Amino acid sequence: MNTVVAKTLEAPPAGFAAPDAAVDEARAEHARRTGDVVLDIRNISLAFGGVKALTNISFDVREHEIRAIIGPNGAGKSSMLNCINGVYQPQEGSITFRGKTFRHMNSRQVAEMGVARTFQNLALFKGMSVLDNIMTGRNLRMNCNLLLQALRIGPAAREEIRNREFVERIIDFLEIQAHRKTPVGRLPYGLQKRVDLGRALAMEPKVLLLDEPMAGMNVEEKQDMCRFILDVNEEFGTTIVLIEHDMGVVMDISDRVVVLDYGKKIGDGTPDEVRSNPEVIKAYLGTSH
Amino acid sequence: MSTTFPRLMLEHATARPQAPALREKEYGIWQTVTWSQLATLVRELAGGLHQAGLQRGQHVVVVGENRPRLYASMLAAQSIGAVPVPLYQDAVAAEYVFPLNNAEVGFAIVEDQEQVDKLLELRDECPRLERLWYDDPRGLRSYKEAGLESLDQLVERGRAFVAGNPRWFDEQVAAAQPQDVAALFFTSGTTGHPKGVVHSHFTLIDRARAGASFDRLSAAEEVLAYLPPAWIGQNIFSYAQWLACGYVVNCPESADTVTIDMKEIGPSYYFAPPRVFEGLLTSVMIRMEDAGALKRWMFKRFMDVARRVGPARMDGRPLALIDRLRYALGDVLVYGPLRNTLGMSRVRVAYTAGEAIGPDLFVFYRSIGINLKQLYGSTETAVFVCLQPDNAVRSDTVGVPIEGVEVRVTDTGEIHVRSPGLLKGYYKNPQATAEVLTADGWYRTGDAGFLDASGHLKIIDRAKDVGRLAGGDNDGAMFAPKYVENKLKFFPFIKEAVAFGDKREKVCAFVNIDFEAVGNWAERRNLPYAGYADLAAKPQVLELVRECVEKVNADLAEDERLAGSQVSRFLVLHKELDADDGELTRTRKVRRGAIAEKYAALVDALYAGRTSQHIETQVRFEDGRTGTVSADLAIIDAKIFAPVRRAA
């Protein structure tokens, strides 16, 4: 996918013709080929001292699917994501990404392999504009050294233009053109979340990890975010792993759902299977004893 | 001299092929389309439409924001003698049913997924609709509907066709005659079904040229197209006059970026209904209230100078030297930067039309050096009837009849117009046509007004809306509801107002607060609120509105004829009046009758002297679902002033 994108970006914008029509076709073709396991999580256990955050968790993620991890507060959802992301090193188990198995990885390696994430509590640069924030997501795609970038000469200038063009496409995609130059700190929360997603997309990720993308949003903002997640999945063919504790939202947009409770996996399957799983109902609604 | 739109386009493409015709901001950059690129695109689109089976005289619906390819589609349809029918892009699907069936539409060209969804929804109700093309493919990839295609595919097929038939397009354009139908505009209409207004190439181009020569417009003008293209005002300014003059039309990036885009383009010719000017002023006032003390002081001080000196300066009257100096200083410190913020630094001619503009609002723009003028016209007259000449602008008239126009006022006070730009008729509605067109070619405008001593036309209200009070202290006094509503709406805190009083003994009103302005006002006073309904019910907000109403009453008392129209009681509505709920027209005019019916309980409460009233209302959300909102509304009494009787 990367090569296709790069090719059209170098081509001059052709007046009227929708310039990304060819890319879109390629991506659509891409999105239709779903199915292979891209991320295989085997027997992961994570403990902080005596506190067991995760116990023996296994599940897989298939290419191009939307995979949700749900569970009540403190179930270990964010810890799970942090393990995949390389922020935490699980004591036991393995993570296989596209056929390569890792015991220990740092976040940069994970990012270089094409895994991007957003944060539950937003980690944006509040004083920087929307454009600059998303531009930081292109960091891994910039090859020029610091000196060239600072002087903006030759290859650095060309690289900047190429990356800026990519970022503009994301801005267009997320419909935040009106806020391009606005410092992120001045935007409402729902829009900040969108910028956070934009920055993750700027990495052209193969797998996108979303940590509670709908937390703290009102109904309308949630609907918008759902649409963007579905659009990302469809337009770019990106595999999406998302964490949510709002069941309603998750069930609507996910292909398959993993349910965690107290660090253990208690359910795994399609939204319908999960919804009728007695263990899940117990965890969410409680049972009378 | 007579010509058609496609011929005009080809003339520009031949005379100045590399000159910009359209610009659209995309991916943060203004992308230019030259006249020759436009001609090529139109040629190919026309070929595609012809291949798809579009016949001479058939209608093609066009729905979307201002997009270059939609403009090109209209030109392409006209090139092969078909008739484009622009529809409002923000209408709900059900509103398209009548136009689609009335005009027997088989082909539609739309902007994006939202519009595609709406039209696909109507397939059962509008079985004639066969083919549908979209400009923006986003989200439409998995659609497998029969007859649905992207514009790219249409262009591609058209390209192959015109390549095989190189002379076909020019023959088609030559075959279309000036008297042929050029476009069908559905008027939003305050009652009943919309009516399709039929205009020919000749009527539209004649009026476009008359307006252009009146203001000496040239190919050097820059115009920003951001209002619905289905509105004849936008269509005349960014389509008919665009082709007649050959200037540049700029399409904004999205609806949210209009202010930014306007500042970047700096249009020289500008047209907007009063509500847009109102909205701009409100946002300026809000920002000023948040500004530092020095800036606020400077703004206040120099706006006083502007109010006093500006209008006279704009009209070219002589000024005292000290005033000239003061104004020049103000121009450097306040007016210039303000014009720049509004995106109006380069505006040479700006027009407002559609409805009456509040005098204070009007004077504000003129006082800071923007040549804002009024014009009078309607869909049926292809806009241009009366325009205000430079240096003869007044806030209470709409100007003089321009080239080709005759105006007469009937005994009942209704204005009649005769001009070369009158409609050919309403589509398939001879009865309605006969109602508005007299046998000797006059058009009945339905507006009440008169020509004043200097030949300027003054409009009071819709002829049918001007009423009389009955009973009480002001029995028989004139009641012009719109006049009262406009006075209320000038306050930045009031978004809409609906006045009642015809055949009643006093005037009462509904008020809609402006959420942004009042919300900001509340925040600065640390007044917490949960949402629109909550804010609208706050006692402090009601008090704020009462002050506004009483100022209006004091103002009305100044004029003996209108003193009876003072608002004695009012309430603040719990929801915003909305076109989706049938309370406003698509051009945001209040539908007084529909509102009175829907909120009958509230109107009764106002006149029955109650102090509060419970109300439940159905609302329609943007996705088409409905719900109910309910509230207890307080009814407030406002102070009435004794009429000021001036010595003769």
Q: Whose CA is closest to A234, among A221, A253, A249, A248? A: A253
SS3 of residue B403 by DSSP: coil
Instruction: Choose the closest CB to B28 out of A24, A168, A235.
Output: A168
Q: How many CB pairs under 8 A join A and B?
A: 57
pLDDT at A282 over 90: no
Residues B306, B187: one domain?
A: no
Residues B486, B458: one domain?
A: no
pLDDT > 90 in chain B, percent: 66
- Residue B569: φ, ψ to 5°: -140, 150
pLDDT level of residue B138 (50, 70, 90 thresholds)? confident
Residues B415, B525: one domain?
A: no
Residue B313 maps to a domain = yes
Between these two residues, A123 and B101, which has the higher pLDDT value?
B101
Contact predicate B79/B176, CB 8 Å = yes
The boundaries of the domain holding residue A224 are 36-114+205-289
pLDDT tens figures, B178-230? 999 999 999 866 567 889 999 999 999 999 999 999 999 999 999 999 999 99
pLDDT level of residue A285 (50, 70, 90 thresholds)? low
Integer Cα distance of B109 and B41 in angstroms: 15
pLDDT at B265 over 90: yes
List Cβ<8 Å contacts ≥24 apart for B530-534: B532/B574, B532/B575, B532/B576, B533/B574, B533/B575, B533/B629, B533/B631
Q: Whose CA is closest to B571, among B594, B541, B593, B597? A: B541
Contact B28 A24 (CB under 8 A): no
Residues B315, B176: one domain?
A: no
Contacts of B150 in chain A (CB under 8 A): 18, 21
User: The pTM is what?
Assistant: 0.79
Residues B256, B354: one domain?
A: no
Residue A147 maps to a domain = no
pLDDT tens figures, B230-257? 999 999 999 999 999 999 999 999 888 9
Contact predicate B503/B477, CB 8 Å = no
pLDDT level of residue A11 (50, 70, 90 thresholds)? very low
Instruction: Choose the closest CB to B31 out of A15, A165, A175.
Output: A15
Enter the tokens of residue A1: 């996918």
Residues B130, B154: one domain?
A: yes
Mean pLDDT (whole number) for B428-433: 91
Mean pLDDT (whole number) for B598-605: 92
Enter the tokens of residue B512: 């809609």
| Residue B137 belongs to domain with CATH number | 3.40.50.12780
Instruction: Choose the closest CB to B27 out of A17, A21, A165.
Output: A165
Q: Which residue of A has its CA nearest to B156?
A: A17
Residue B642 maps to a domain = no
β-bridge partners, B447 = B462
pLDDT at B277 over 50: yes
pLDDT at B321: 93
**Which of A8, A16, A134 best tests the B interface by mutation, with the highest count of B CBs <10 A?**
A16
pLDDT tens figures, B334-383? 999 999 999 999 999 999 987 778 777 888 999 999 999 999 999 999 99
pLDDT at A34 over 60: no
pLDDT at B10: 96
pLDDT tens figures, B163-177? 999 999 999 999 999
Contact predicate B577/B595, CB 8 Å = yes
pLDDT at B597 over 60: yes
pLDDT at B191: 61
Between these two residues, B311 and B245, which has the higher pLDDT value?
B245
Residue B646 maps to a domain = no
Instruction: Choose the closest CB to A16 out of B41, B137, B256.
Output: B41
Between these two residues, A219 and A15, which has the higher pLDDT value?
A219
Q: How far is CA A220 from CA A216, A225, A227, B52, B622, in A?
A: 12, 9, 11, 40, 11
DSSP class of A129: B
Residues B559, B459: one domain?
A: no
- Residue B496: φ, ψ to 5°: -135, 155
Q: Which residue of A has its CA nearest to B257?
A: A178
B250-273 as b/e, with b when 16 or more CB fall inside 10 Å?
A: bbbbbeebbbbbbeebbbbbbbbb
pLDDT tens figures, B437-491? 999 999 999 888 778 888 899 887 788 887 888 877 777 777 888 888 888 987 8
The boundaries of the domain holding residue B504 are 467-637
How close A168 gets to chain B, by Cα (Å)?
A: 5
Residue A173 maps to a domain = no
| Residue B613 belongs to domain with CATH number | 3.30.300.30
| Residue A53 belongs to domain with CATH number | 3.40.50.300
Q: Which residue of B has its CA nearest to A20?
A: B137
- Residue B159: φ, ψ to 5°: -60, -45
Contact predicate B275/B327, CB 8 Å = no
Mean pLDDT (whole number) for B642-646: 71
Which segment of A29-38, A106-115, A193-202, B465-474 scores lowest on mean pLDDT? A29-38
Q: Which residue of A has its CA nearest to B260?
A: A178
pLDDT tens figures, B57-109? 999 999 999 999 999 999 999 999 999 999 999 999 999 999 999 999 999 99
pLDDT > 70 in chain B, percent: 98
Q: Does B256 touch chain A (CB under 8 A)?
A: yes
How close A11 gets to chain B, by Cα (Å)?
A: 14
**Which of B18, B23, B27, B152 best tests the A interface by mutation, with the highest count of A CBs <10 A?**
B27
Integer Cα distance of A269 and A259 in angstroms: 9
Contact B152 A169 (CB under 8 A): no
Q: Which residue of A has its CA nearest to B25?
A: A177
Q: Does B621 touch chain A (CB under 8 A)?
A: no
- Alpha-helix runs per DSSP H in B425-538: 430-436, 481-489, 515-524, 532-537
Residue A181 maps to a domain = no
Contacts of A18 in chain B (CB under 8 A): 135-137, 150, 152
Instruction: Report helix angle B68-79 to B168-175, nearest 10.
Output: 70
- Residue B57: φ, ψ to 5°: 90, -15
Quick check: ipTM above 0.90? no
Quote the number of domains for chain A: 1
Instruction: Choose the closest CB to B257 out of A13, A168, A177.
Output: A177
Residues B88, B134: one domain?
A: yes
Residue A212 maps to a domain = yes
pLDDT at B648: 40
Q: Whose CA is closest to B78, among B252, B162, B248, B204? A: B204
Residue A7 maps to a domain = no
pLDDT at A5 over 60: no
pLDDT at B140: 87
pLDDT level of residue A246 (50, 70, 90 thresholds)? confident
Which segment of B30-39, B46-55, B512-521 scores lowest on mean pLDDT? B512-521
Contacts of B144 in chain A (CB under 8 A): none
Residue A139 maps to a domain = no
Q: Whose CA is closest to B374, among B277, B492, B251? A: B277
| Residue B418 belongs to domain with CATH number | 2.30.38.10
Residue A79 maps to a domain = yes
Average pLDDT, chain A: 81
Average pLDDT, chain B: 90
Residues B312, B239: one domain?
A: no
- CA B339 to chain centroid, in Å, comes to 22
SS3 of residue B531 by DSSP: coil
- CA B241 to chain centroid, in Å, comes to 17
Contact B31 A13 (CB under 8 A): yes
Q: Does A132 touch chain B (CB under 8 A)?
A: no
Q: Does B76 touch chain A (CB under 8 A)?
A: no
Residue B376 maps to a domain = no
Contacts of B152 in chain A (CB under 8 A): 17-18, 21
Mean pLDDT (whole number) for B258-270: 94
Residues B59, B149: one domain?
A: yes
Most confident of B105-119, B274-288, B602-616: B105-119
Residue with tokens 């539950």, as numbered in its chain: A120
Integer Cα distance of B526 and A10 in angstroms: 52
SS3 of residue B139 by DSSP: coil
Residues B21, B156: one domain?
A: yes
Instruction: Supply the Cα-derived Rg of chain A in whole angstroms.
Output: 20
Q: Does A6 touch chain B (CB under 8 A)?
A: no
Contacts of B523 in chain A (CB under 8 A): none
Q: Does A165 touch chain B (CB under 8 A)?
A: yes
pLDDT at A32: 47
Query: In a 10 Å sphere around its CB, with 0-12 CB exposed, 13-18 middle and 19+ buried, how is residue B298 labelled?
Result: middle
Contact predicate A203/A107, CB 8 Å = no
pLDDT tens figures, A37-82? 889 999 999 998 888 889 999 999 999 899 999 888 888 888 898 8
Quote the number of domains for chain B: 4
Residue A269 maps to a domain = yes
Residues B553, B522: one domain?
A: yes
Query: In a 10 Å sphere around its CB, with 0-12 CB exposed, 13-18 middle and 19+ buried, how is residue B333 labelled?
Result: middle
pLDDT level of residue A1 (50, 70, 90 thresholds)? very low
Instruction: Choose the closest CB to A178 out of B136, B152, B260.
Output: B260
Integer Cα distance of A90 and A79 in angstroms: 9
pLDDT at B603: 93
B242, B272, B302 — which closes off a domain?
B272
How close B20 gets to chain A, by Cα (Å)?
A: 12
Contact B141 A28 (CB under 8 A): yes
Task: Please report the residues numbered 24 through 63 in chain A whose beta carbons come closer than 8 angstroms to any beta carbon of chain B.
Answer: 24, 28
Contact B28 A234 (CB under 8 A): no
Query: In a 10 Å sphere around its CB, with 0-12 CB exposed, 13-18 middle and 19+ buried, how is residue A47 labelled?
Result: middle
Contacts of A171 in chain B (CB under 8 A): 27-28
pLDDT level of residue A4 (50, 70, 90 thresholds)? very low
